Amino acid sequence: MQINRELVEKVVAEVIAEVLGSQFGSAPTPTPREEVSGVAFAESGRTVKGTDPKEVVLALTPAFGTTFSKTIVDVPHAEVLRQIFAGVEEEGLKIRVVRVYHTADVAFMAHQAAKLSGSGIGIGVLSRGTSVIHQKDLAPLSNLELFPQSPLLDAMTFRAIGKNAAKYAKSEQPTPVPTKNDPMARPRYQGLAALLHNKEARFLDRTKAPVEVKVTFEG
C-alpha cells in the first residue's frame, strides 16, 4: 500500500487555506463540489423510515462522491457503491441511499441508516472507506460488523459488506467479512486519516435531517 501523495498535498493545502481564510475573515462556508465521474447523485428531499423488509439502507456523508472521489487507498467511490449495491442485490434485496448531514461518526451514521431501514439493517461508509454494518435495536456504539482500518478495504471487501448486510436483513447469521491484517496500516495512514476526517466534517450541517439520494451509475 502506498500513500496517495497527491491526495495528502491537496487536503493539506485546502485545510491551510481554510484556516488562513478564517483568521482573516474570508473563509467561505464549504460546500460539496460536483459529483465525481462514474456516478451521479440526486437528492430528493428528507428521507422517511422504510417499511420494506427487503431493503438495506446505506448512509453516506455529504462529501462522499462529491468533494472526495476515492477512498484512502484510491478505490473510486463509484466502485465502492457498485460493489455494495451488487452485494446486496446478489442476496435478492434492494438498497436505498441517504446522506447524513448531522454527523461524520460512522457508527452513528450506520445506526441512523438502520433506523430508517425497513429491515432494520443499515450500512455507514465514510469517504476514506471506514464502514459499519448496524442493526436498529443495538446501541449506536455497538454494531454487527465494524471495518475501522480503511487502508485495508478493497473493492471486494465492499461487495462482501453489502452481501453480509443483506444476509442480516434476512435474519441469517453470516460469517463476518474477512479483512486483511497489516499492523503498520494504522501508523502509516493515521495522519492522513485525521486530515480527511477533519476535512469531511467541514461539510456537516447539524441542523439538517438525512435526505434521500438517487444514485445513477454512468458508463
Domain assignment present for residue 145? The answer is: yes
Given a contact cutoff of 8 angstroms between Cβ atoms, the answer to whether 74 and 5 are in contact is no
Are 129 and 69 a contacting pair, CB within 8 Å? no
Query: Quick one: 90 and 156 in the same domain?
Result: yes
CA 32/CA 92 separation, integer angstroms? 33
Contact 134, 122 (CB under 8 A): yes
pLDDT at site 180: 81
Tell me which residue range forms the domain holding 89.
35-177+207-217
Q: What is the DSSP string of 21-40?
A: HHHTT-PPPP---PPPTTEE
Does 184 map to a domain?
no
Question: Do both 74 and 94 map to the same domain?
Answer: yes
CB 124 within 8 A of CB 139: no
Residue 179 has a pLDDT of 84
Residues 6 or more apart whose Cβ sits within 8 Å of residue 179: 147, 149, 152, 153, 157
pLDDT tens for each residue of the chain, 219 residues long:
555 556 555 555 555 555 445 554 544 445 555 556 689 999 999 999 999 999 999 999 999 999 999 999 999 999 999 999 999 999 999 999 999 999 999 999 999 999 999 999 999 999 999 999 999 999 999 999 999 999 999 999 999 999 999 999 999 999 999 988 777 777 778 888 888 889 899 999 999 999 999 999 986
Looking up residue 159, the CATH number of its domain turns out to be: 3.40.50.10150
pLDDT of residue 162: 98
Q: Is the domain of 213 the same as that of 123?
A: yes
**20, part of any domain:** yes
